[in-house]
Amino acid sequence: DGGITQSPKYLFRKEGQNVTLSCEQNLNHDAMYWYRQDPGQGLRLIYYSQIVNDFQKGDIAEGYSVSREKKESFPLTVTSAQKNPTAFYLCASSIFNSRNEQFFGPGTRLTVL
């Protein structure tokens, strides 16, 4: 059963804490992405990775960090430096071919208390 999984579905964080969101895919996709979605706004790219051990900043990388030690995993850490972390976080993956189609996970809703 191939797909993208994100955990947890809901996450609550106290101010000043770092939290890590999990994203795993078993599609053998090369690239993985993290997006943030806020009400009334489109998805904004945080980080992306096209190969293992390499990643690039997206449009809103400040206050976030990532790693890509395995092809199937791309965890996102929301650090205490992120001023307004409450949002819906979506992970996606794609394979390098002529289509370059992105597929999305179910998302993690992070709330800062």
Partner 1 sequence: KQEVTQIPAALSVPEGENLVLNCSFTDSAIYNLQWFRQDPGKGLTSLLLIQSSQREQTSGRLNASLDKSSGRSTLYIAASQPGDSATYLCALGGSEKLVFGKGTKLTVNP
Stretch that binds partner 1, among 22-30, 61-69, 75-83, 87-95 (CB under 8 A): 87-95
Binds partner 1 by CB under 8 A, chosen from 11, 43, 61, 95: 43
Cβ 19 to partner 1 shortest distance, Å? 19
Residue 74 makes contact with partner 1 by CB under 8 A = no
Q: Which of 84, 79, 76, 108 is nearest to 16 (CA)?
A: 79
Stretch that binds partner 1, among 18-26, 39-47, 69-77, 79-87 (CB under 8 A): 39-47
List, edge to edge, every strand of the sheet that includes 19-25: 4-7, 19-25, 76-78, 64-66
Whether residue 8 has a cis bond before it, omega within 30° of 0: yes
Give the whole-angstrom CA distance, residue 54 versus residue 59.
Answer: 17
Residue 1 makes contact with partner 1 by CB under 8 A = no
Q: How much is the CA Rg of the chain, to the nearest whole Å?
A: 13
Which residue ranges make up the site for partner 1 (CB under 8 A)?
6, 33, 35, 40-45, 48, 50, 56, 58, 88, 90, 92, 98-107, 109
